[in-house]
Structures are given as structure tokens and as C-alpha cells.
């Protein structure tokens, strides 16, 4: 018995040599990547969709995918540039009739629309989407967006079973609001409100992985954390593009390896964009920008340093202006790699600023420590908060250095994950300046001003107004701009942006981030969808 152990060693040796031989055989017989015609393979580096259930999905990647599978009342077209931000009817035959002083929206749903299982889309499917969203068992993240819809609060608080403010009437679908909301149509493009077939979409707190879709594609299968498969909706009759028959997303791949695999054509692209910033300069040199394989587009996003107006260090306007001169914007931006973004000193991204974007209110070329010192001769102690990723540490290093040059004594505190927002969102938090960024939920300036700068929203906890600015004049101006609909809306907010940056300087705005996309050698049809802040998947195809 004692000897037995030593017999296992040669045995395992034999087993392994057999294995090695097998591997050698397979190495020669390796099949190339299964690029059957019409199938696009994507590698999603370091990310999976959070959910595929439209009532729960809440992330750029999941919305990028839902954009293909969802039939919305109104939606943004599969186009780039200004055209891609122009709302147009999707399931609705025309834009809605707005009545009752802006509180009632009436949509007429087109006839003959079908889900991927062949069932007909009716207005009741949109009503069910609202009821499913509001159902307390679902715990949907949409609730904060729809509290103005009549009856939603009752359902959330378990006082009612159905939302009374939405109803179907023949081919009509009607929404009633408690108060007018200029951004309602933009909000309705979020996948939370896409048509869901009642019989196939029960209330499921875990969220459904697959369900029939009425968009150009539907979710054929999902293995959470690993894979998602989209297939063309055979019953789709609309005019939205679906140029490949199948899309396979491999989730949670490695960023560097995905880059290699896009280069050699294994993957068509990383749907999240190029995740290897160091490669950007080389790609631009090789393929040019926005010509063949390397694409750069502006996101509706602003990276900024929030200056805590409630604490001493940046309590005064002079000190906040000084910070704006002290920070070396190009250096901070450069940490994102080549073409990582466009530097700015204002609040709103270009698409929302109504022509007011690009005014150089503060130095955007580099740091100006002399001017900063002149504005704020006694900077004193500054608490700088930020993340703990490599990128965050690099940026913190630069800002710490800049502020030190401007005469401040800086202490850096780093947080992992979103813990920084829990800490900084608590009123009275002990930071003076912190890194933050805001990406639109829907393309409307109120998504920036209302959430990030309206002082009336400051609570004890969970604040998004990280500058803790509560200025009566600003609040009034926000209300005035928000009341405007149509043409003048963006202009009014753009003007307000310049005013806020000049007279209040609550932020050190750094940049509006770019999305860098890199597509495979055999892929064509690239379109950047600006409202979805991502590449349009439906327009891509294999050459």
C-alpha cells in the first residue's frame, strides 16, 4: 500500500503526455473562428449587461442592446450626428398630441407591428410596461423618472395594483402627468418603456433573461456573465436596419486580448468601445480617424471636479475660479490616452449647449498656477477625493500636483468602486474637491442642471449635487429654462451654462469624453448613435 503513491507519479506522467499529444493534434486541426456569414461576434471587455429585462436594464451596454430589441413609442433613428438626436415616432404613427396644458400625451400606435414570436403589438403592451416598471416586486430603477405619471406612486407604495395614469383606448395610448414635463418624450426613449408582451413577461424580481422583442432583433439566448445572442426578428416590418442575421456577444473578456482579437478579426468589435487607450495613437496613425476601422465620437458626457461650496477651501468664488486656472486640463485628459475626449471649461456637453459650447472661460490649454495664486493667495488645506483605479490615480496625481503648484496643501483620499458616491453624497462630506463625471440618461440639459446643480434637491444623503451648490438665482434660472420647449430650450440652457460657469464656478470641468471604437478588418457599416452614446449594432455587417 505504501508503494502505491509512487506508482501514481509515472502514471500521471503518462496521462499528461497523452494529453499533450492530443493537444498537438488539435493545434494543427484548429478551426478558424466561426464567422458564418451574417454572424457578428463581439467581445465585451470586462463587462456584461446588468439585465436584459427592459424593466431592469440600466447601463450603456444594456441600452445599446435593448436599442436593437425594443420597440419604443418614440425613438432616435439609427443615424449619427444631429440627425441621430432627433426624436421620431417608432411604434407611434406620429408624434403625440399634447393636451391638458402639457399634462396629457396621446399616442396612436401603428397597426400590424409584431413581436418576435408573432404576437401583435397593441397599446396594452405599453400599458403593461408601465405597470411592470412600477410594480414594487420588480424594484425597477426607472421609478425616479416616472413619479410624475399619475398613479405611479400609489403602485410603488402598494396602495394600487395598476398605474391609473396610463391607459389603452383602441389604438391609442394615453399618458397623464401630475405636472408638465418637457423631457417626457426624451425619457420615453429609455428601454424601460418598450413594448412587452404581457403573456410572456410575468412579474419576476430576478428579471427575465430572454423575452420576445418587437424591435429589429430579439434576445435569443443569454448565459449571464458569459454570452448573449441576438437574432433578427423575423416579424419585424419597420424601417430600422438589421444588417446581420445574428449577433453573439462574449461577455467579460480581457481588454488587451479583445483588442488583439478585434485586430485579427475574431471579434467584430468591443461594443463598449476601445478599452486599450494606449493603442489609440497607433490606430489613428494606421487607419486615420473616422475613416475605416478607428472611430472617435463625442459622448454627451462631462468629466469634472466638483468643488464643494459648502466647505471652506472652495467656499468662495475666487477660490473656485483659482482652481479652474490651476488644473492642467490637457494633462488630466491625456491620462485617458489619445483622443480620450475634448477639453472644456463649461458644464454641458456640446450636443446640449445650444451653440454655447467651446467658450474658453478658463484656461484649457494648460495650467496657469500664477493666475490661480493671484486669485487665491492663501489656498490652505484641500481634501481631494477620487477613485483607486490606475486611471483615477494618475488623474489624482496630476490634480494634486497642479493644486500644490498653486499653493494648496493637498491630501488625496481614494475610494474603491462607487463607495465614493455614498461618502460624497452625504451632506457635510469632508471633501473640498472630487473627481466625478456625468453621462446623460436622456439627451436633455435638465438631466445635467436639474440633477447636478439644483440646490433644492439637496438631502441628507444620496446627493448628486456634489458641489452642494444651492443658489436661489441659479435655481430660478433653471426653472425658467426648463419651462421652454422646442427650439429655444438648448439655447436657454447654453446661456445658463455660461452664466453658471462664470458667476458660480461650481465645477472644474475637464473634458467631454470621446467614445473610441475599433472594428474588425472585415466589418463595415459603422454608425455612432449619439443618443445611445454607443455604436449602432444594427447597421454593422460583415464585408
242-301: which residues touch other proteins (CB under 8 A)? Answer: 246, 248, 250-254, 256-258, 260-261, 263-264, 266, 276-282, 284-285
Where b means 16+ CB within 10 Å and e means fewer, 1-19 reads eeeeeeeeeeeeeeeeeee
Residue 319 to residues 209, 314, 366: CA-CA distances in angstroms? 51, 5, 18
In DSSP notation, 318-336 reads HHHHHHHHHS-HHHHHHTT
| Out of 79, 334, 373, 513, the residue judged to bind other proteins by CB under 8 A | 334
HSE-CB of 350 using CA atoms within 13 angstroms = 15
In this complex, which beta carbon is closest to other proteins, that of residue 311 or of residue 414?
414
Strand ranges inside 416-531, DSSP E: 433-439, 507-518, 523-524, 528-529
| Out of 396, 497, 517, 536, the residue judged to bind other proteins by CB under 8 A | 396
Q: Is 539 in the site for other proteins (CB under 8 A)?
A: no
In this complex, which beta carbon is closest to other proteins, that of residue 96 or of residue 387?
387
**Where on the phi/psi map is residue 485: left (φ > 0), alpha (ψ -120 to 50), or beta?**
beta
Compute the least distance from the CB of residue 479 to other proteins, in Å. Answer: 18
The contact pattern for other proteins, residues 57-76, with x = CB under 8 A and - = no contact, is: -x------------------
User: Which window, 15-23, 81-89, 193-201, 347-355, contacts other proteins (CB under 8 A)?
Assistant: 15-23
Nearest to 433 by CA among 346, 316, 322, 311: 311
The footprint of other proteins on residues 303-332 (CB under 8 A) is 328, 330-331
C-alpha cell at 48: 456584461
- As a whole number of Å, the end-to-end CA separation of the chain is 65
| Out of 359, 383, 464, 502, the residue judged to bind other proteins by CB under 8 A | 464
In this complex, which beta carbon is closest to other proteins, that of residue 250 or of residue 500?
250
Q: Is 102 in the site for other proteins (CB under 8 A)?
A: no
User: Which window, 5-13, 113-121, 163-171, 487-495, contacts other proteins (CB under 8 A)?
Assistant: 5-13
Nearest to 166 by CA among 158, 157, 175: 175
Rg (CA), the chain: 26
In this complex, which beta carbon is closest to other proteins, that of residue 150 or of residue 335?
335
Compute the least distance from the CB of residue 453 to other proteins, in Å. Answer: 14
Q: Is 425 in the site for other proteins (CB under 8 A)?
A: yes
Q: Is 414 in the site for other proteins (CB under 8 A)?
A: yes
CB 54 within 8 A of CB 194: yes
Burial class (CB in 10 A: 0-12, 13-18, 19+), 310: middle
| Out of 108, 171, 210, 393, the residue judged to bind other proteins by CB under 8 A | 393
Compute the least distance from the CB of residue 343 to other proteins, in Å. Answer: 11
| Out of 23, 82, 199, 472, the residue judged to bind other proteins by CB under 8 A | 23
In this complex, which beta carbon is closest to other proteins, that of residue 116 or of residue 266?
266
92 φ, ψ (degrees, to nearest 5): -75, 150
Q: Is 26 in the site for other proteins (CB under 8 A)?
A: yes
The footprint of other proteins on residues 189-208 (CB under 8 A) is 205-207
Amino acid at each position: 500500500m505504501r508503494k502505491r503513491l509512487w506508482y501514481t507519479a509515472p502514471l500521471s506522467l503518462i496521462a499528461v503526455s497523452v494529453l499533450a499529444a492530443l493537444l498537438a493534434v488539435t493545434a494543427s486541426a484548429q478551426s478558424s473562428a466561426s464567422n458564418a456569414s451574417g454572424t457578428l461576434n463581439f467581445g465585451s471587455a470586462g463587462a456584461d449587461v446588468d439585465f436584459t429585462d427592459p424593466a431592469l436594464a440600466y447601463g450603456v451596454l444594456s441600452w445599446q442592446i435593448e436599442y436593437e430589441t425594443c420597440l419604443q413609442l418614440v425613438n432616435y433613428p439609427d443615424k449619427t450626428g444631429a440627425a441621430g438626436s432627433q426624436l421620431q415616432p417608432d411604434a407611434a404613427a406620429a408624434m403625440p398630441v399634447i393636451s391638458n396644458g402639457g399634462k396629457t400625451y396621446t399616442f396612436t400606435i401603428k397597426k400590424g407591428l409584431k413581436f418576435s414570436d408573432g404576437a401583435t403589438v397593441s397599446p396594452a403592451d405599453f400599458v403593461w410596461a408601465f405597470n411592470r416598471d412600477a410594480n414594487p416586486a420588480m424594484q425597477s430603477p426607472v421609478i425616479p423618472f416616472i413619479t410624475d405619471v399619475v398613479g405611479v406612486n400609489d403602485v410603488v407604495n402598494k396602495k394600487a395594483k395598476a398605474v391609473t395614469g396610463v391607459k389603452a383606448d383602441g389604438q391609442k395610448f394615453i399618458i397623464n402627468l401630475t405636472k408638465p414635463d418637457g423631457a417626457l418624450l426624451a425619457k420615453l426613449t429609455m428601454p424601460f418603456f418598450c413594448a412587452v408582451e404581457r403573456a410572456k413577461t410575468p412579474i419576476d424580481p430576478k428579471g427575465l433573461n430572454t423575452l420576445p422583442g418587437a424591435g429589429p432583433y430579439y434576445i435569443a439566448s443569454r448565459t449571464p456573465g458569459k454570452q448573449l445572442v441576438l437574432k433578427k426578428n423575423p416579424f419585424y416590418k419597420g424601417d430600422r436596419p438589421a444588417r446581420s442575421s445574428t449577433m453573439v456577444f462574449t461577455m467579460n473578456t480581457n481588454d488587451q486580448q479583445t483588442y488583439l482579437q478585434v485586430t485579427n478579426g475574431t471579434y467584430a468589435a468591443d461594443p463598449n468601445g476601445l478599452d486599450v487607450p494606449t493603442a489609440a495613437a497607433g490606430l489613428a496613425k494606421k487607419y486615420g480617424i473616422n475613416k475605416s476601422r478607428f472611430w472617435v465620437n463625442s459622448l454627451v458626457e462631462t468629466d469634472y471636479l466638483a468643488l464643494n461650496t459648502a466647505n471652506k477651501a472652495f467656499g468662495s468664488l475666487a477660490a473656485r475660479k483659482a482652481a479652474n486656472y490651476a488644473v492642467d486640463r490637457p494633462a488630466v485628459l491625456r491620462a485617458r490616452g489619445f483622443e480620450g475626449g475634448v477639453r472644456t471649461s463649461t458644464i454641458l456637453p456640446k450636443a446640449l449647449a445650444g451653440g454655447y459650447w467651446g467658450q474658453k472661460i478658463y484656461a484649457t490649454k494648460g495650467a496657469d498656477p500664477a493666475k490661480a495664486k493671484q486669485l487665491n493667495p492663501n489656498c490652505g488645506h484641500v481634501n481631494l477625493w477620487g477613485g483607486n483605479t490606475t486611471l483615477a490615480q494618475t488623474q489624482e496625481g496630476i490634480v494634486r500636483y497642479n493644486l500644490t503648484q498653486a499653493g494648496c496643501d493637498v491630501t488625496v483620499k481614494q475610494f474603491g468602486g462607487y463607495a465614493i458616491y455614498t461618502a460624497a453624497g452625504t451632506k457635510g462630506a469632508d471633501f473640498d474637491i472630487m473627481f466625478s463625471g456625468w453621462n446623460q440618461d436622456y439627451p436633455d440639459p435638465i438631466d445635467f442642471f436639474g440633477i447636478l446643480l439644483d440646490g433644492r434637491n439637496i438631502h441628507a444623503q444620496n446627493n448628486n449635487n456634489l458641489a452642494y451648490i444651492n443658489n436661489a438665482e441659479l435655481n430660478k434660472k433653471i426653472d425658467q429654462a426648463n419651462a421652454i420647449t422646442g427650439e429655444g430650450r438648448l439655447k436657454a440652457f447654453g446661456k445658463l451654462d455660461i452664466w453658471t460657469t462664470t458667476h458660480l464656478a461650481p465645477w472644474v470641468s475637464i473634458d467631454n469624453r470621446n467614445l473610441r471604437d475599433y472594428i474588425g478588418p472585415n466589418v463595415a457599416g459603422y454608425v455612432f448613435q449619439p443618443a445611445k452614446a454607443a455604436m449602432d449594432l444594427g447597421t454593422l455587417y460583415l464585408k
